[in-house]
Amino acid sequence: MGEIEGIYTIWLREMKRFLRYRSRIVTSIVTPLLWLIIFGTGLGASIRFGGIPGGYRAFIYPGIIGQTILFTSIFSGVSVIIDRQYGFLKEILVAPISRPSIVLGKALGISTASMIQTTILLLLSFLVGVIMTPACFLATMILSLIISMGFGGLGLLIAAFTDSMEGFNLIMSFIVLPIFLLSGALFPITGLPGWLQGAVYMNPLTYGVDALRYTILHRSVFPLGISMILITIFALVMVFAASFIFNTKEQSLM
């Protein structure tokens, strides 16, 4: 009981913060729209992209949703660094509640934020000419939850090893952007040069985007089941690893 209430409390705080930073919500919606409308239309006009109704713009639509989940999740996880600088992390860490509950509450909060953003983006599906059914919507939300748990966990892990927000640019250049670019969000992942193919297949987001493409556009490279299993494993590993690190590094986090 106490632990569940603890998880809920941490989740609630995460939600309040998310909803109170209005500018963050606005950017998290505007950025993907810029990608879709400008990048999607621009590049879509210069390449032939057959096979999908809606063309290239429709093709990157699930990819951009994946990107939004990735960015929101990692940065929300990394925001623990700010909690640490403001000292608020201490207040949470000295409470009589287990470290895994703290990590889980945080990860669930991040997932909820991602799902809210996914919902908004799915409501805009008419912009790219994709038809949304309730079943597609539901399946996409489940994927959004799993993917964001994984990357939220990764963000928390990174935060546990980073002392200040000065590392932010490093995280952006060396972790977030490569994960995004190597995920097949912007290009098909078949028929790539060997080195690129290898890197793409190593990337957990590849399977997230591929699964999203299945639920939204009904086409994918991997079977949905395989992608689901892989992203679920990734989510579990990240949340467990973050819990473990928060447990062992507890003292240096305060």
Shortest distance, position 112 Cβ to another protein, whole Å: 17
Q: What is the DSSP code string of 106-168?
A: HHHHHHHHHHHHHHHHHHTGGGGTPPP-HHHHHHHHHHHHHHHHHHHHHHHHHHHT--SGGGH
Residues at the interface with another protein (CB under 8 A): 2, 5-6, 8-9, 12-13, 16-17, 20-21, 83, 86-88, 90-97, 251, 254
How buried is residue 134: exposed, middle or buried, by Cβ count under 10 Å (0-12/13-18/19+)? Answer: exposed
Shortest distance, position 240 Cβ to another protein, whole Å: 21
The residue among 78 and 205 lying less far from another protein, judged by its C-beta, is 78
109, 76 Cβ separation under 8 angstroms: yes
| All residues at 6 or more sequence positions from 43 whose CB lies less than 8 Å from its CB, including other chains | 56
The residue among 86 and 161 lying less far from another protein, judged by its C-beta, is 86
The residue among 24 and 29 lying less far from another protein, judged by its C-beta, is 24
The residue among 2 and 223 lying less far from another protein, judged by its C-beta, is 2
Shortest distance, position 99 Cβ to another protein, whole Å: 12
Shortest distance, position 9 Cβ to another protein, whole Å: 4
